[in-house]
């Protein structure tokens, strides 16, 4: 690890404003013996301290099935899907109650959010989940997220909470993903078998060599272990989030990481999150529609970096849904920008030349005051 890599890693984590933290079942349930009250209390104290610093934090926590098994008196993990779902339903009560109690003791509110793959695959549900989480963060509430194991089956499962953590990081455009595990981080090989194995302090997320170090997707070493974390870091990096894999029992690990201390394995994203999002929008080839705006709106968007408000729209073309990429055209029909629509085309036609305060009256609801938020706009050069 070079000094430059250490400095780059420290800068990424110390400057992070929006953080997703994922903890595994073995940590949360003390190797399956039941919820580890002391560990959850310590994480809650750190989460509360980060919120007090002005950061936004989301916790993705495993442990519902293991806790449910303990409450039901089951010594062996069931294989039948209905029994797994029952264990998850029972255990989820204790898991959320524990986080709620410990976070509340630290002066921070919490919220339970259960997700399935279908929630993130469907664009409308994806946007609704995103809006809910961002609203909770705005109100300094810590969302505690888990997969909705009581309703999913193998066909729609995320597969593991490392993947869920990465998808949540993408969903809310987090700056960093912290994966707390029962391992110190990534080694170049299994240190128990290879005396020449060295610890990986900093690397680039998505580097193919990392997957080989973790054992490969089909190996006994990698199955359900480090490989899922490496792949999660790769997925998180697609939206510009860097990842760190660290030992969950490390004292005050979250606070030390966010202070820039080198703990665990840092896997840095190549592209900053806003650059990644805007590059994706700029390269979007299949635009489903467009809105034409007046000269004043062009000046606000292109000249001042403002959001597109409904009052600046004069016409709507095409058939698009909320969340799809659309073009923004000037009065001459030239594309000046493109971005993610907050309203479908049928709704947008009703909003042309209308004030944002009229949205709820016209549509019966108001998702956002803007047609396209400035964070979701990319100016065409």
Which residue segments constitute the domains of the chain, with CATH numbers given? 3-272 (3.40.1160.10), 284-379 (2.30.130.10)
**pTM for this predicted structure:** 0.79
Exposure on the CB side of residue 346, measured as CA atoms within 13 A: 2
Q: Which pLDDT score is estimated for 280?
A: 62
Q: Which two tokens stand for residue 41?
A: 């209390």
Q: Which pLDDT score is estimated for 381?
A: 67
Q: Which pLDDT score is estimated for 51?
A: 97
Phi first, then psi, for residue 203 (nearest 5°) are -150, 180
Angle at 270 between CA 57 and CA 23, to 5 degrees: 30
Task: List the beta strands (DSSP E) in the chain.
Answer: 18-23, 56-61, 109-115, 141-147, 176-181, 202-204, 242-247, 265-268, 289-293, 313-318, 325-329, 335-340, 377-379
Helices (H) and strands (E) in the chain, counts: 16, 13
Residue 300, SS3 per DSSP: helix
Please check the confidence at residue 46 and state whether its pLDDT lies above 70: yes
Mean pLDDT, the chain, rounded, equals 88
CA 256 from chain center: how many Å? 21
**Whole-angstrom distance, CA of residue 376 vs CA of residue 126:** 15
**Whole-angstrom distance, CA of residue 100 vs CA of residue 88:** 18
Report, as an integer, the average pLDDT of 221-243. Answer: 80
Q: Which pLDDT score is estimated for 169?
A: 92
* Band of pLDDT at residue 324, cut at 50, 70 and 90: confident
Please check the confidence at residue 309 and state whether its pLDDT lies above 70: yes
Identify the residue with better confidence: 2 or 236. Answer: 236
Residue 348, SS3 per DSSP: helix
Report, as an integer, the average pLDDT of 27-40. Answer: 88
How far lies 42's CA from each of 35, 46, 292, 347, in Å? 13, 6, 53, 47
Residue 169, SS3 per DSSP: helix
Please check the confidence at residue 23 and state whether its pLDDT lies above 80: yes
Q: What is the pLDDT of residues 174-199, one digit of tens each?
A: 999 999 998 899 998 877 788 888 99
Report, as an integer, the average pLDDT of 101-130. Answer: 88
Q: Which two tokens stand for residue 44?
A: 């809650």
Query: Considering the chain, what percentage of its residues have pLDDT values greater than 90?
Result: 59
Please check the confidence at residue 374 and state whether its pLDDT lies above 50: yes
Q: Which two tokens stand for residue 92?
A: 């989820």
Exposure on the CB side of residue 246, measured as CA atoms within 13 A: 23
**Whole-angstrom distance, CA of residue 176 vs CA of residue 273:** 10
Q: Which ranges constitute the DSSP H helices of 142-207?
A: 161-172
Q: Which pLDDT score is estimated for 176?
A: 96
């Amino acid at each position: 690890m070079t000094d430059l890599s250490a400095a780059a890693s420290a800068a990424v984590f110390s400057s992070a404003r929006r953080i997703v933290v994922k903890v595994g079942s073995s940590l949360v349930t003390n190797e399956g013996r039941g919820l580890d009250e002391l560990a959850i209390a310590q994480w809650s104290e750190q989460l509360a301290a980060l919120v007090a610093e002005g950061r936004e934090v989301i916790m993705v926590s495993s442990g519902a099935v293991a806790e449910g098994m303990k409450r039901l008196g089951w010594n062996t993990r069931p294989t039948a899907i209905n029994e797994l779902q029952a264990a998850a339903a029972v255990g989820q009560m204790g898991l959320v109650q524990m986080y709620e109690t410990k976070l509340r003791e630290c002066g921070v509110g919490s919220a339970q959010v259960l997700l399935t793959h279908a929630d993130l695959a469907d664009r409308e549900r994806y946007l609704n989940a995103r809006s809910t989480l961002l609203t909770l963060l705005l109100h300094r509430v810590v969302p505690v997220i888990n997969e909705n194991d009581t309703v999913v089956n193998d066909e729609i499962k995320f597969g593991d909470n490392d993947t869920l953590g990465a998808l949540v990081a993408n969903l809310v455009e987090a700056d960093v993903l912290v994966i707390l595990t029962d391992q110190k981080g990534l080694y170049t090989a299994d240190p128990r078998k290879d005396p020449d194995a060295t610890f990986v302090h900093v690397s680039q997320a998505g580097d193919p060599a990392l997957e080989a170090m973790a054992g490969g997707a089909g190996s006994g070493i990698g199955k359900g272990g480090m490989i899922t974390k490496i792949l999660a870091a790769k997925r998180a990096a697609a939206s510009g989030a860097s990842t760190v894999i660290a030992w969950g029992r490390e004292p005050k690990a979250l606070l030390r990481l966010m202070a820039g201390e080198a703990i665990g394995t840092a896997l840095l994203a190549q592209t900053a999150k806003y650059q990644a999002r805007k590059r994706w929008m700029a390269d979007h080839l299949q635009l489903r529609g467009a809105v034409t705006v007046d000269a004043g709106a062009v000046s606000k968007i292109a000249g001042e970096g403002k959001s597109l408000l409904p009052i600046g729209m004069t016409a709507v073309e095409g058939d698009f849904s909320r969340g799809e990429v659309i073009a923004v055209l000037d009065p001459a029909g030239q594309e000046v920008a493109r971005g993610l629509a907050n309203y479908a085309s049928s709704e947008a036609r009703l909003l042309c030349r209308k004030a944002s305060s009229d949205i709820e009256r016209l549509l019966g609801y108001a998702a956002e005051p803007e047609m396209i938020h400035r964070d979701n706009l990319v100016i065409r050069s």
